[in-house]
Amino acid sequence: MTSQHAVDSARRALLGASASAAALTGLGPWQHAFAQGARPLPGYAAWKDAGAMIVHSPNTIELRRSAMGDGVITPASQLYVRNNLTPPNADILTHGDAWQVQIEGVRKPRPFTLAELKKMPTETVTMVLQCSGNGRGMFPSKPAGTPWQVGAAGCVMWTGVPVRDLVRVLGGTDAAAKFLTGTGGEVIPPGVDPKSRVERSVPLLAANDALVAWELNGQPIPLAHGGPVRLIVPGFTGVNSVKYVKRIAFTATESDASIQQTDYRMSAPDAKGMNPSDPSVWEMPPKSWINSPLPESGTLRAGAAVIKGVAFGGTKAVKQVEVSTDGGATWKVASLVGPDLGRFAWREFVANVDLSAGTHRLASRVTDVMGRTQPEARIENKAGYLNTSWRDHSVTVTVA
């Protein structure tokens, strides 16, 4: 969790990001791209920056790589959307303080209303929220699912009550507990198998950092991002931070929901289906990518250039970022810039380079404090999850 100094830094970064977003809304390429037959934003996300987003479907909306800007904090108006089920009716926000979260698998189980949670001490954590399939569109095998590039990710602040504090108030977890299980409040249509519910289990250790949150970037969480209350699991992929959370349980086994048992598994590319024995998509590995310059920047002039991007380590802090201008043949250490908002947040990096005339393959790779370095190759898997390949995320620019 963040210290007060880090929280203050995050809020200043948020103000800067909001100002930058407002200034950038007039940039032509975004509006031009949106005007060329792009899908409109769905009603529950109509408040987002349409020109900066790619609408894949009503439940899958991505931020354009060229729209990521320079701020650490991603404005909510530019944060990606991924829903596994249709969101609940927006009426749940009207009386949000009455929303209840049932806590189970503790010695004194009970429900808490949002109004009750708001009376407890809060914490703020800044973290990377990233879809498990971010980078899926770079797999040559073209896995089924949304072909995300890099925009199914953002760095945002969540405010709420630490799960560990709720556990303490309720007398501790059951002795048999091995998992933290969150259940979402989406409505399951009549006749649909109840196992289609959004319910995810993560290892119990994740509860030490988890939050029951009701604010996103200092504002009430909008419906598109899980309001009025969302379970936040820092360092884990977004599916594990259950939206519209109505139940948090400490369980001896993983949920029997299909989203846990047969979805979000690192299954072999040739597997006929996903197997519960395959590794679950939980913690995010180290990852980085370059946001500037990009191929759409046009032809660059030979000479000095600045490479900018973002890097994160999942559950561990960033130690170092390197960049390459020759497709990984040689590397140069980049500078980490901007505020350090904690081990779950991403870091901005910059590198001053000289580019000669011709084409250059620009790449970045991050190393976390545990010594894990972003790999060159992706992990091939059936659903295209957890693509951290620096080669896949590299970009080719033309210099004249």
Q: pLDDT tens for residues 273-324?
A: 888 999 999 999 999 999 999 999 899 999 999 999 999 999 999 999 999 9
Give the domain 287-399 fold.
Immunoglobulin-like (2.60.40)
pLDDT above 70 coverage of the chain, percent? 91
Q: How far is CA 362 from the centre of its chain?
A: 24
Q: Which residue has the tokens 């949150």?
A: 213
Contact 366/313 with Cβ under 8 angstroms?
A: yes
| Mean pLDDT confidence for 393-398 | 98
**CB-count burial class (<10 Å; 0-12, 13-18, 19+) for 386:** buried
CATH of segment(s) 4-261: 3.90.420.10
Confidence at residue 5, expressed as pLDDT on a 0 to 100 scale: 53
Spatial separation of the C-alpha atoms in residues 377 and 120, rounded to whole Å: 45
Confidence at residue 20, expressed as pLDDT on a 0 to 100 scale: 44
Token pair, residue 375, equals: 């790999």
Average pLDDT across the chain, whole number: 92
Spatial separation of the C-alpha atoms in residues 21 and 13, rounded to whole Å: 12
Token pair, residue 155, equals: 């760095």
Confidence at residue 12, expressed as pLDDT on a 0 to 100 scale: 55
Contact 116/103 with Cβ under 8 angstroms?
A: no
Question: Can you name the residues that pair with 361 across neighbouring β-strands?
Answer: 326, 396
Confidence at residue 8, expressed as pLDDT on a 0 to 100 scale: 58
- 264 phi/psi in degrees, rounded to 5: 55, 50
Report whether pLDDT(13) > 80.
no
Token pair, residue 39, equals: 């899908």
Spatial separation of the C-alpha atoms in residues 129 and 110, rounded to whole Å: 29
pLDDT tens-digit series, residues 97-156: 999 999 999 999 999 999 999 999 999 999 999 999 999 999 999 999 999 999 999 999
Nearest CA to 202 out of 160, 165, 169, 245 is that of 245
Question: Can you name the residues that pair with 283 across neighbouring β-strands?
Answer: 236
Spatial separation of the C-alpha atoms in residues 150 and 388, rounded to whole Å: 10
Domain boundary assignment for the chain: 4-261, 287-399
pTM passes above 0.75:
yes
Q: Which three-class secondary structure state does DSSP give residue 355?
A: strand
Report whether pLDDT(202) > 70.
yes
Contact 266/364 with Cβ under 8 angstroms?
A: no
Report whether pLDDT(170) > 80.
yes
Report whether pLDDT(47) > 90.
yes
Spatial separation of the C-alpha atoms in residues 59 and 283, rounded to whole Å: 23
Confidence at residue 83, expressed as pLDDT on a 0 to 100 scale: 96
Confidence at residue 348, expressed as pLDDT on a 0 to 100 scale: 98
